Amino acid sequence: MAFELQYSICFLLVLLQLPFFTIAQSYKTISLGSSLIAFGFRKIGNAGFLLAICFANIHEKTIVWSANRNNPVQQGSKVEFSFDGKFTLTDIRTDKRTNIADGQSTDTTGVAYAAMLDTGNFVLAAQNSTYLWQSFDHPTDTILPTQTLNLNSSLFAQLRRKIQVYSRSPNFLYWSIETGSGFQVIFNQSGSIYLTPQNGSTLHVVLEDPVSTQDVYQRATLDYDGVLRHYMHQKSTDSLSAWSTFTVIPPNICTAILEYTGGGACGFNSLCRHDEDAAHTNCSCPPSYILIDQDDERKGCTQNFVPQSCDKASSEIDLFEVQELQFTDWPGGDYEHFQPVNKERCKQSCLADCLCAIAIFNEGSGDCWKKRIPLSNGRINDDVKWLSLVKIRKGSTKEKDSLTLLIIGAVIILISTNLVVFKITHLVGSRAKVNRLYPVVQGMNLKCFTYMELKEATNGFEEELGRGALATVFKGVLASHTGKFIAVKRLNTVVKENDLEFKAEVSAIGGTNHRNLVQLLGFCKEGQHQLLVYEYMSNGSLAAFLFGESRPNWNKRKKIALGTARGLLYLHEE
């Protein structure tokens, strides 16, 4: 039996008799009764595909297990089930075969079938229904009701938010219980997770808030931030609803991790804040510090200014200032402490010391602690009563504010330019008594797509990138262009004005060709179907990139501003 990967889909299967052979194609689903849990290839951003188990009938299609979690494969790869019980995945790039499961048996029958159970357990079974291999014995970051963790079994959190990579090795114990004679952790159907000895009694309850699996889907996941969360999803709600957090371990990861040889929950020079209402944590940087890795907020922060020189510290005192932060702390790592002093004395001591990066001042006791780079275990907590004095170079924040205004201004000008272009072409289009699109695109290197081509490229318009009042944009991939990603803008057919907007956008943008402007690749106009095909911008929208969770450093922001200016110059003059 073999599945060959061509598109981002999940196979739904309950029972497959061996041998079996099928090819994965767009809109093709193997369904033998259950639609709760799915097994198949799932697209993971631009990294490739995972052979995974996921929830099938909720919007998120949440992955709960994957066979190749650290090694995504590319389109065209396949998975095979052989007569001798081998379960292998072949990567089309390297032609490497990876043995995922081995359902060998002591009898002569071997594996008779593979089954995807409603519990989320994928099994290889003998003719007498004995499990020869099951995914429950090889968890990734999630356990499900009825699943058991045996001795030497582990959950591994993914390294980054929304990126399925699990190779982080543990180096610090921040939560534990006494196991005694316990040898299994059981997640029962009532929603409790508990430790049990061999006699089946309960030694310790890990998570106890019973909820019937009849009404909700449940999972316990070790998330990217190191927190074990018990999630629920109502079965009766609409498909767009999200998972809600039921209980967490530890309750506050920011205070649970106190490393003496590491950076803490969010890395060096960073601040960890626990959102109790959302049961999640956020990592941020102090003023004038930036993330080391824009894609991984937990790698810590670094100074975004030239630090004070110890060779000429006295002459540079006037070049630095202190910003006060409330409710912040970096426990441990003090290299100097003195008291009693007032706040001004503590501040001046840090300014005059080239090694000092932050001073902690306690108004009540008059204590002053000085800390140097790198700072560890940073956290924001309402219980912190002292004041953090962060030393930064003067003017660093003002320069950044000016650059931010420059970028925002450039974006506003670009939007205004597009509106002007649209208005002009709108008027031209309204005066031209034409019903066909083809005269508009004469002399332009645009491809005319069929509606079915674009429907197949977007997997039935599955992955939405954004929407506006008149149109919705979907992500797609062109099979005829060796997997090239595209953005397909589908205009709402019920809006009468869309015909004019469609012609205006094709004529205004179709003739442009500049590295700083998104390129129109083609279009489709079949009856009520009006679609525009653009090159796919992997970094998302400019607004999301600038002001989202992972903000670019100021060097990148300058390049963005220059690129925007070049695009505007092209539109206006060239």
User: Would you give per-residue pLDDT tens digits along the chain (574 residues)?
Assistant: 454 444 434 444 444 444 443 333 332 333 333 557 888 888 877 778 888 898 887 877 889 998 887 788 888 888 887 767 678 888 888 888 888 876 555 454 577 888 888 889 998 888 888 888 899 999 999 999 999 888 878 888 876 554 443 344 445 677 777 776 667 888 887 778 888 877 767 767 777 666 666 778 889 999 888 888 888 888 875 656 778 888 888 888 888 888 777 888 899 999 999 887 766 788 999 999 999 988 788 889 999 998 998 887 567 888 999 999 999 999 988 999 998 999 999 999 999 999 999 999 999 999 999 999 999 999 998 889 899 999 999 886 544 444 555 555 555 555 555 554 454 444 444 433 333 344 445 556 788 889 988 998 888 888 888 877 778 899 998 876 666 889 999 887 655 556 666 777 677 676 677 777 788 888 898 888 888 998 888 777 777 777 666 677 777 788 888 888 887 877 776 5
Q: How far apart are the first and last CA of the chain?
A: 58
Q: Which residue segments constitute the domains of the chain, with CATH numbers given?
A: 1-138 (2.90.10.10), 143-171+181-249 (2.90.10), 279-394 (3.50.4.10), 398-557 (3.30.200.20)
**What's the rounded Cα separation, in Å, for the pair 30 and 21?**
12
Residue type (1 letter), 139: P
**Closest by alpha carbon to 30, among 51, 5, 59, 9?**
9
Q: Which two tokens stand for residue 182?
A: 């316990």
pLDDT at 558: 81
Strands in 228-234's sheet, in edge-to-edge order, are 142-143, 216-222, 228-234, 244-249
pLDDT at 351: 93
Q: Is 354 helix (H, G, I), strand (E, B) or coil?
A: coil
**Closest by alpha carbon to 65, among 25, 118, 109, 122?**
122
Q: Which two tokens stand for residue 242?
A: 């999200």
| H-run or E-run covering 89 | strand 86-90
Residue type (1 letter), 226: G
Q: Which two tokens stand for residue 185?
A: 């952790």
Task: Judge contact between 116 and 135, C-beta under 8 A.
Answer: no
**What's the rounded Cα separation, in Å, for the pair 257 and 227?**
11
**What's the rounded Cα separation, in Å, for the pair 58 and 51?**
19
Task: Judge contact between 254 and 379, C-beta under 8 A.
Answer: yes
Length of the chain: 574
Instruction: For 115, list phi and psi in degrees, rounded to 5.
Output: -140, 140
pLDDT at 415: 54
**Closest by alpha carbon to 500, among 508, 199, 193?**
508
The number of beta carbons lying within 10 Å of the beta carbon of residue 284 is 16
**What's the rounded Cα separation, in Å, for the pair 450 and 140?**
42
**Closest by alpha carbon to 493, among 502, 506, 505, 483?**
502
**What's the rounded Cα separation, in Å, for the pair 115 and 134?**
10
Residues 257, 263, 267, 268, CA torsion sign: positive
Task: Judge contact between 14 and 34, C-beta under 8 A.
Answer: yes
**Cβ within 8 Å of residue 394, ≥6 positions away:** 318, 319, 320, 321
The number of beta carbons lying within 10 Å of the beta carbon of residue 83 is 10
Q: Is 253 helix (H, G, I), strand (E, B) or coil?
A: helix
Task: Judge contact between 299 and 330, C-beta under 8 A.
Answer: no
For 493-528, letters b (16+ CB in 10 Å) and e give eeeeebbbbbbbbbbbbbebeeebbeebbbbbbeee
